[in-house]
Chain A
Amino acid sequence: MSGRRGGNRIRGPQSALTDFLAANNISAAQIRDDYERRRQQAEQDAADAGEGPSNQTPEQNDDEALAAAAQAEEAEKKTKKRKRTEKDAIDKIKNAKATKKGKGKKKGKKDEEDDEDGDDDADYDDDFGMYKKARPAPGQFEHCDICNKRFTVTPYSKEGPDGGLLCTPCGKELSKDVKKEQKAATKSAGTGRKRRKVESDRLDGIAVGGAKSLSQLCIQKVAQHHDDIEELGDLPPSVLERLSEIFSKKRVMKSKTLPLFLRPDLDSVIVHDAAYLEEEDYRQIFAIVPNVRKLVLSNTCQLKDGAIDYMLERCHDLRHIQLYAANLVSEGMWHRVFREAGGKLECLKLSWLDAAFEDLVVQDMVKYCPKLERLKLKLCRRLGEDAVTSISDLPELKHLSLQISQNVSTPVLVNLVEKRGSGLQTLSLEKFIDADDSVVGAIHDNCIQLSKLRLSENDTVTDAGYTALFTDWDNPPLKFADFNSTRDIDNNNSGGPEDAIGLASSGFRALMEHSGASLRHLHIASCRHIELSAFMDVFNGAQNYPALEYINMSFCNRADTSVVAGIFKSCPALKQLVAFGCFDVQDVVVPRNVALIGVPRAQDAIEQFGIGIGVDEAISRMVEVTT
């Protein structure tokens, strides 16, 4: 009613709806008028008349002109918006008509049988388009597209998938879905996760600066889509190995994906994570690849006697057996393995055996595997001194790696070194805590071909012993030296005794003097008795260590920034320097191609990579900083 316009007070005979609308400054009469007008406009193809607002103003009373004017402006805005939506609707209808005409034409050109259908469709669509509802004005009631409930249209009502409007809850749901989709699309390239992944890849040595190799990208993609692959085709064995490595890493090496790596012409089967493989899968391996020479299965928790039995039956050419964590294989079966397959066996690597594998088996092994050249026995809980004694009798032994949990007395070790030392190229004795200077002395006296030496986690051998080892030693320079965690462990005396225990200053100097020329890998973590002066003497820039690629000096807390600078200078081939716990190393500028890991500063990443700076420039920058 015109008299009620602009009033907030409810008066006289008015419907509740009109009251409500009036409370929101919407006039029911106005809406009705607009609707009539719109209907007329929809039937013409005329442009905007612009008559709407001006038509209404003369109807107002003078004393309500102001309020009316204000409302008229608002109404004008609304009508403009409505006109826009109407125009869109009209355009849509026009377009729909046009396409239908086109469709009709196309359909007309088709065969006669299609004519009728085409015409029918065109007619139907045309009619539908003609009477398509325009968007109702705010305030009107409308049925929700999805749930069909009646609701009041507001300016914020969302449009449903079919073009109609949605009630508020359905609208909220729709927008939530849309938001989720958008999030999924953008967050999949989430920056935080990506950066961590890049750093993790770098620590794995996959990409040091620059782009990844194409092989690496392809392998990653294959691992991502491992479910969809049916066959790997004719990939060369090296690529196959890398693929199996990454499958194992992503823990997707299962019954389904295993056959991809089995081909009758292969001579090695390498599965680094066989945890998901079952009895059937092991039989399958031996069935498909009977000529296997090199068998590497790690985490083979489900490997049982039956599968081993089948293996002994099918595979007669085994030269290299590497089984980690094969705990379900019984003692008797181990005996059988060596008796039947030992003849050709050249390499045996076993670790993490708790339940079986005792000294007697080692005796059998020595007896039946005369050609054994490489032996690695680690973390086999039942092995003890007798095993070591037996091993001393292996004639062809070249590479020996032992970590035995039970106590092995020093004379037994000395005996081992004396008997086999001359032929050994690799000697690794881990966690022989009580081995003393006599062992090292035996190494000095007997080993003349060693290229890899590891004596780690020991707190008895003295620095003097190490110095004696590397002085006047007939052995050519080592390539791999690992003396990590050789130090005195006494919580009451953290500085260590007077006569240093473990690899300390003089031992370190002697080591580098003896082997510096060809040393590639140096691991001296936790040798905390090495003094700063020793580091400075060894890595003073004048010395050159041309082959040194990897240095781990974590927890050698006497080392500082100048040592690191010296290392950069002295080691042109350096790729990785690990220095956890070296708190005096600060403000390092890392040259190109070098990865520095473990030097902490609050705002830096845990690893720093040299980008595009040469060694000299890096050092000069560091010197500027420190001086």
Chain B
Amino acid sequence: MAPAKKRNVSSKANAKKIKIDFEGIVERVLKSRKHANDVFDVLEFLQSEKEKDVICAVDACCKLFCTLLKRKDLFIGKLPGEDEAIKGEHSPDEKYKIFMRHRYNNCVEILLEHLHHETHEVKESALCCLMKFAAEQGLHPLEDLDWSEYFSFPRELIQAVVHNILSQSLDNSLLISRFQEFLEMDDIRYYVMSFIRDNVATVMNKSKGAVLPVYQSNVFTLMLNINMPSQETELTNFMVKQETKHEDWKAAKLHDHKRAFERMWLGFLKYKLPNSMYKKILVVLHDSILPHMSKPTLMIDFLTAAYDVGGAISLLALNGLFVLIHQHNLDYPDFYKKLYNLLEPSVFHVKYRARFFHLANLFLSSSHLPVYLVAAFAKRLARLALTAPPTALLIVLPFIYNLIRRHPSCRVLIHKPSSEDELLEDPYVMEEVDPALCHALESSLWEIKTLQKHYHPDVAKAAMLINTPMTEQEDDISEVLEITSYELMERDLKPTESKSFPLEFETAAHLLEGRGEVLGRHFCLA
């Protein structure tokens, strides 16, 4: 130990030498049991402050213990305490193995600690090392394989890794993405899923319902990185091959995978989530969670809860609900009423606008909907369009037109010839929550008439369409769903040959003075 300290002092000058030394130590330790105590040097460096040293030490440890594992130079079975072992009557060989096993355990502990290190490189090398150990341990189990039902798998090690990855204080998303490559292996995936569930249950129970954003986001990232196989035959990539009864191994069955997956998610979603997490989950729910569950309908509670939250979360819950309704025969009472009440000015401003309109388009595409409902939707959307930005208007207007096209009896909204030119107030009641009672059918879409005066030429043109009978062909709104303001601007910014630049004829003499000056009335040049 003394020389180690010496080296520690002089290590600044000769980092290279240290590395050579590491290799030398590893070789020495492996060569003869005499130098077994040199392991401490390596472990010393493993705890060093300097990242470079740590990484080198991790490499050395990895090499050392992997070789030892392969040689079966580590004690197998229930490990006696170190002191006991020295005192006890063990053969020197066994003593050595016990000693090495203890060093191995020390090393694993340190490496697990390193998973919380500040620098990513350290974390990453520690993780890789641990996973290598796990792989070796899988091949050369350290436990006794006495009982027959036992499937050899380094559970403790993996569990510890998962436990440490799911940090409550650090955002480990980078490490998790590194960990993802190990998740490709089916058995690891299976066990990790179950470990996650256990971990979530223990941690969340400890926090007693409070939200733990960092932890939950770590868990979520890890869970999101789990790529589920879609078919049984894809389950071929295993870290540990079971010689016997491989077929009976749960990790080799897709059904069990699905169960584990489902239980993991349900276990996670049981607890209260931060809003951003809610949105993230809902965004991916329909295509990366629901299909891999054995019983997707179990998600219904979560989705209904989310749907009732309101705002953007409700919008996002729609997608999952749609999958359930569409593919799993879910019956959802007052679905349309709720959908109707989701229509608020914010609908046009949220990020998930495109998704919402895509779904709303799907929900309202049924021709069996009652006319009053469709009219209510059209009218409400039109009213809301009065506050919408042009990008949203380019979606909403064709959307309304499509509604009217699908339900020709809604045409009275834009064309209701009457014998005399009666003037009437808008009978539509915006505040009414029930689409059946809002008198939308008795109203007209004056809002679209207003939008004919919209400043953007495309919107104004789109609004002009109600002046004439509409074509039968439905507009394809999928093109405009994702349009951004910049794209809209580019339409005018694109250089075309024939474009001319008309000029203001009124001579500009000053910044803030001129005909119809508004800015100058309230602001001054200062």
Whether both chains belong to one complex is answered with: no
